Amino acid sequence: MKGTTDERYMKEALKQARKAADIMETPIGCVIVCGDKIIARGYNKRNLKKNTLAHAEIIAIHKASRVVGDWRLEDCTLYVTLEPCPMCAGAIVQARIPRVVIGAMNSKAGCAGSVMNLLQTPGFNHQVQVETGVLADECSEMLSGFFKELRRIKKERKAALTEAKKKAILDTTTKNFAEHV
């Protein structure tokens, strides 16, 4: 039963990640559940908001705190498509969220076990139960597909700029030659 419930909520987090991808943000999505109800949703908006703090988890935690009327989210579960970064892991601990369910792991910046484990650091006053690998393939594929497309777009833009530069040089050279004839 728990696996089915976790998958259902991770699918909701994936919907949030798609919203991020639609606006060319890194596709990370998050939902926060209390009881059997989603009380907050978030997706990356760093570029849109020009704000380093606009990660999916931070946005969702902020919304959830407003819904429950407290900074403590002690009865909630956070679902996120990618393992939290140091900032988001810290916010999860500070919000006293007891359980986090993660889709894909993040070998470059993950703080739920990949690079370090801030969610279960023994010296902290709050420990988080962590479940990993829920719809991991779907979460990973969304990220890898996004970055593949981003690289393709950058390559096309670079090629277009190179062509524009060649044309400008040719036009300038032709103009200069014509002036000297």
To the question of whether residue 85 is assigned a binding role by annotation, the answer is yes
Q: What are the pLDDT digits (tens) for 1-57?
A: 466 999 999 999 999 999 999 999 999 999 999 999 999 999 999 999 999 999 999
Task: Say whether 57 is catalytic.
Answer: yes
Q: Which CATH number fits domain 2-149: 3.40.605.10, 3.40.140.10, 3.30.420.40, 2.60.120.260?
A: 3.40.140.10
| Per-residue pLDDT at 1 | 43
To the question of whether residue 88 is assigned a binding role by annotation, the answer is yes
Other Cβ atoms less than 10 A from the Cβ of 21: the count is 20
Which residues, 6 or more positions from 153, have their beta carbon under 8 angstroms from its beta carbon?
none
Q: What are the pLDDT digits (tens) for 164-179?
A: 676 777 666 666 656 6
3-class secondary structure, 75:
coil
Residue from 7, 12, 25, 57 carrying the catalytic annotation = 57
Across the beta sheet with 37-43, what order do the strands follow? 37-43, 29-34, 76-82, 99-104, 129-131
Q: Judge if pTM exceeds 0.95.
A: no
| Per-residue pLDDT at 104 | 98
Q: What are the pLDDT digits (tens) for 83-93?
A: 999 999 999 99
Domain ranges of the chain: 2-149
3-class secondary structure, 73:
coil
